[in-house]
Structure 1
């Protein structure tokens, strides 16, 4: 709908669609806060008080600033084009990075050292580096997209989605089926069939309310466990504190840099994902400038790290959905404001006192299966084989986490039991494939996609990259210690078998390229 530039609606204008969009985005963002509050104490040794006072206020500021920026960006676009139907980009904490940084950086460091503060600093480092990459991402993000098949970029995200996002939490959901199953089914049915609920209520919001109501009803009758925690912090006012000293001091520590095999690909995915979100918005009719959008995204993550939150922010997928819902720009600043108030007051723990986490996990399951399906649907049909190949490293990484968790519960570790697994489970192969899995889950589908397209030279170049990464320890290389599996870096000798194997594969592809060219020339000659 058009409107004159002089009479364009104000920045703080709110429509009915904005309320619909707000509830949907609010539930998504609230879920991230609840996961942080739940996972950091369980996996990283932090107390609820530390999460409430050190992490959540910084996350709140980054969400507030980012949501207001994207609301202002949409309002400015509407004013410039004389429209009142512009929808702001949805924005919040990056779900995939949240899991990646906790599971693959912060938790391993805590297990190895028992130092929760060190794990937190490593998370700040990861978030900061990711933000810097996003900040400069406009310069090289498009180049990467131009040289990497879509299957390579999407299957790696799908692998994380189906394992560390969907699988782990679906087990928790099915462990409390009386509370979690019905909300899960409601989310799956409504989102999959694109059903609209009465009064236009968001399905995610209704599912959480339904699960919460069931939990309280069943608990009152003694049919559901008490999920509340006695250690919840009282409501208070938690001002974000400057963590730059801890962060910048950690930049000179080798601990953070040793996890670049996780941080680097996650930063690239954030850049590419943001570009794809902007393209999606343009296809829906809202064309935003790329550079300021990416810069704001990066600044949000940098601010988050400097104020104590280890969790990067990003543009969310789904702009066309919010637009179809009637949301404009009001939903964005409303979400940022309410999330900020909850986090600064330390209310996330109190939300968990009322809302069992199981009532929200259907949303994560939906995110996991949608991202997995998208990898197949959005890639060229012949590249489905490549997408499937890209899932395997993530499955290995997930399996390794399950093995290590089981052994810790049994009071032992892989260091003392690895030799006992074969031939039932080739655990050394699981470890090797899991190391640097975010990188190999890009390389493998890229190679396969180019081979399927008979672009053997391009496939060979990707294998040479794999050979180099193996040689320095970014992939496949590891040390097995009593504390667990650790990264192992060395110049050109980190994983020699893989280095040689990938290099030989590149040579083989070069030969295949020559044979293919000669075969094509012979066919052309016979045709003449």
Structure 2
């Protein structure tokens, strides 16, 4: 097997991963400009080349890792772990660290440096996590690891792109149909053309025609703006800028955001490695997580304030037929367009609507895997493990609505010349009042640390289904400990920001509730007849 070989599946996988990475880069570009006042030339010359370094490091390693695994076991079907910018950390660092710094200083570089510090600390957490993550993976039921991923796939991936699909059906339905035909219907296209390529080309064509179809997608002047950023941009060494802000005071100030994001990244990557093993590709946990952290640190040192992660979606890329070549192609492509300032051109030529069909399909496959690769009788545990992610998604929607309404309110007050400033804040609501029509306090509590609470509840249900009540009790105690220190369920509202609340006793309600569950499960264990404990049925 040649390392430099590229299969038809690799081409499909490349288009899917490229669109996924491209979406992240386009989103961070728009948010950095719109929220934190970054000039476009600063993003083009500093942030994107730094992000490209981190993506290149990870993509080449995971490609080589898959290649070596194939050589070791004489297999030609090993699929590299997908890799890219961490979406959750991207939003968290922008909204809760960089934006407040920019609002208080008016200086985009101060906001950028704060992001560098957060990314650096997050990368260190990832590196440290690589040394003990394997033990966590081996002691956690597969249903618990995969159901949390499935919840993210259904909500943050599939629902997001499904809603966009139904917003622009004349543009998005046919590209989605192409993907479904090839990968569900096993239809082969003429001349062996990959379905992913057909889908994107069709999406681009329909996007150009969208104005004639009554729903224009392309923006006037987009191509001209893209051309203006073309050039050659060497990566900028940001070590001095990082040292400027690398103080204990700053770390403490941002710790409430940095810690959960670092832990979230370690756990999420761990779950993705388990997902790959469930698909037949068993990668070393320690080296996989270690390089993930090193990729984040490399990007940070060259000016990117956004951590990277092992992506959700390995079973999807494997279903596309991708091997290790797709990861190499993606790393080289993203590096090329970032160093030569071509992101604006791609943004103008390939709208999100043209490529989201592949990403939507990936989300569907991930969710399906959680049920297909776990024991059939554990399916209730998978279902309960999905639920916390729905709360996380609901909170994101609620938060965005409040931010939008508050922005509109400020605009109206400014036009009216109001002497006083009024705000539309989440923190002004009582968490115990019914909200649309659900209890806001319950949504917020379930959303905080939802990856961890998903694992706790799914693990408890797995062991209850297997009648191993003592193990279910142990997981209830883990839930009590996590909630005691605010790692799950604890939150603090500050305006429209929802922050983790890390204290010795964040709230006594959840630790006591989990401890009560543990007591119930342990009591059940000891009250069983000895023969039932020895031979559960």
TM-score range, shorter chain: 0.7 to 0.9
Once the two structures are superposed, the pairs formed by residues 430-469 of structure 1 within 5 Å of their partners are 430-469=443-482
- Which residue pairs with 2:350 in the alignment? 355
Q: Distance in 2 between matches of 1:329 and 1:225?
A: 34
The structural deviation recorded for 1:331 is: 5.0
Q: Deviations over 1:376-429 (max 9, x none)?
A: 222221211111111221111211221222223333121223469527331111
Tell me the equivalent position of 2:519.
507
In the alignment, the residues of structure 2 paired with residue 431 and residue 130 of structure 1 have an alpha-carbon distance, to the nearest angstrom, of 24
Q: Which runs of 5+ in 1 are unaligned?
A: 2-8
**Where does residue 170 of structure 1 map in the other structure?**
162
1:407/1:315 CA distance change after superposition, 3 Å:
closer
Kept after mapping to 1: 8 A contact 2:126/2:292:
yes
**2:491 counterpart of 1:478:** yes
Query: Could you say which residue in structure 2 is the equivalent of 1:107?
Result: 95
- Once the two structures are superposed, the pairs formed by residues 360-375 of structure 1 within 5 Å of their partners are 360-375=355-370
Deviation at 1:207, TM superposition (A): 0.9
The correspondence of residues 254-333 of structure 1 with structure 2, limited to 5 A, is 254-259=252-257, 260-274=259-273, 276-277=275-276, 280=279, 282=281, 292-309=287-304, 310-314=306-310, 318=314, 325=321, 331-333=326-328
Equivalent residue number for residue 179 of structure 1: 171
Verify: 1:31 aligned to 2:43, yes or no: no
Q: Distance in 1 between matches of 2:312 and 2:365?
A: 13
From 487, 496, 499, give the equivalent of 2:508: 496
Deviations 1:64-89 (A, max 9, x none): 334444555566678889x7958672
Counterparts of 1:265 and 1:509 in 2: how far apart (Å)? 28
TM-score of the two chains, using structure 1 as the length reference: 0.83
- Residues 162 and 368 of structure 1 are in contact (CA less than 8 Å); yes or no, is this contact kept in structure 2? yes
CA displacement 1:438-457 (0-9 Å, x = unmatched): 21111111111111111121
Q: Is the aligned partner of 1:150 residue 2:134?
A: no
Distance in 1 (CA, whole Å) between partners of 2:121 and 2:310 is: 14
Deviates more, 1:471-480 or 1:415-424: 415-424
Aligned length: 503
Which region of structure 1 is more displaced relative to structure 2, 348-357 or 25-34?
25-34
Structure 2 residues not aligned, in runs of 5+: 407-423
Greater alpha carbon shift after TM alignment, 357-366 vs 114-123: 114-123
Assess if the C-alpha contact under 8 Å between 1:57 and 1:340 holds in 2: yes
Q: Residues 296 and 401 from structure 1, CA distance in 2 versus in 1: closer, same or farther, beyond 3 angstroms? A: closer
The partner residue of 2:35 within 35, 39, 45 is: 45
1:210 aligns with 2:223: no
What is the distance in 2 between the residues matched to 1:316 and 1:475? 22
Question: Structure 1, residues 243-280: CA drift from partner, whole Å, max 9, x if none?
Answer: 34455635731244213233203212313423653675
The residue aligned with 1:4 is none
Residues 1:340 and 2:332 are matched in the alignment: no
**Distance apart, 1:290 and its partner CA:** 6.3
What is the CA deviation profile of residues 219-248 of structure 1, one whole-angstrom value per residue up to 9, with x for unaligned ones? 367652433565545212122222344556
User: What secondary structure does 1:485 align onto?
Assistant: strand
Superposed CA deviations along residues 75-124 of structure 1, whole A, max 9, x for unmatched, are 6678889x795867254315xxx221123443344565555667655654
- RMSD, aligned α-carbons: 3.5
Secondary structure of the structure 1 residue equivalent to 2:235: coil
Aligned with 1:308: secondary structure? Answer: coil
